[in-house]
Amino acid sequence: MAETIKIGIIICDRYKSCAGGKCFRALREREGAFERYKDKDVEIVGYTSCGGCPGGNIEYAVDEMKKNGATVIHFATGFIVGYPPCPYIEYFHDYIEKKYDIEVIYGTHPIPEKYMIMHKKLGTWKDPKWGKIIEPTVTDKKTRLSYD
């Protein structure tokens, strides 16, 4: 039997009432940042918010997720597509990887087309650092439209 990848998902607190429909759909369909698991078994071992700016729950949530067996943490796509995108996303990424020695992936579900259009108009992702951040969640237009 193949090893199961155990995933923790952290969402932006602005979306704390989100039920995770797009994230769980993308995981089931292996789309967006979950495409990397297309031939693997996965299990969600934690799903919570960052706790609000400046991320008061980041430290504690990851600790619990790791105790539950998490081998990778995903930042929900809301961190990337919110208005504005999370200003702490790179710091959270580096902090978690260094403190917990666990891989952190930017994004979950594909970026919906309506967000792609608006962020292009705003110039949000012009800085080269955003190329790495949005890359796992950029898909074809048909898929993006299906997440609108």
CA angle 56, 62, 66 (to 5 degrees): 160
- Helix, strand, or coil (residue 19): coil
pLDDT of residue 4: 95
pLDDT on residue 73: 98
- Find tokens 């998902």 and name the residue: 9
Mean pLDDT score, 44-68: 96
Does the structural domain 4-146 have CATH classification 1.25.40? no
pLDDT classification of 102: cutoffs 50, 70, 90: very high
How confident is the model at residue 2, as a pLDDT? 72
Within 13 Å and on the Cβ side, how many CA atoms surround 29?
Answer: 14
For the whole model, what pTM was predicted? Answer: 0.95
Longest Cα–Cα distance of the chain, Å, equals: 47
Domain spans, the chain:
4-146
- pLDDT band at residue 120 under the 50/70/90 scheme: very high
As a whole number, the mean pLDDT across the chain is 96
Q: What is the pLDDT of residues 73-91, one digit of tens each?
A: 999 999 999 999 999 999 9
The span from the first CA to the last CA of the chain, in angstroms, equals: 36
Torsion from C-alpha of 123, 144, 37, 52, nearest 10 degrees: 50
Q: Which pair of structure tokens corresponds to residue 50? A: 């960052």
The structure tokens listed for 99 are 């403190």
What letter would DSSP give residue 34?
A: G
pLDDT at 1 over 70: no
> Quick one: 18 exposed, middle or buried, by C-beta within 10 A (0-12, 13-18, 19+)?
middle
Task: Give the pair of three-digit tokens for residue 23.
Answer: 């994230």
- One-letter amino acid at 22 equals K
Binned at pLDDT 50, 70 and 90, residue 3 comes out as confident
pLDDT in tens, 124-144: 999 999 999 999 999 999 999
The token pair at 62 is 């990851």
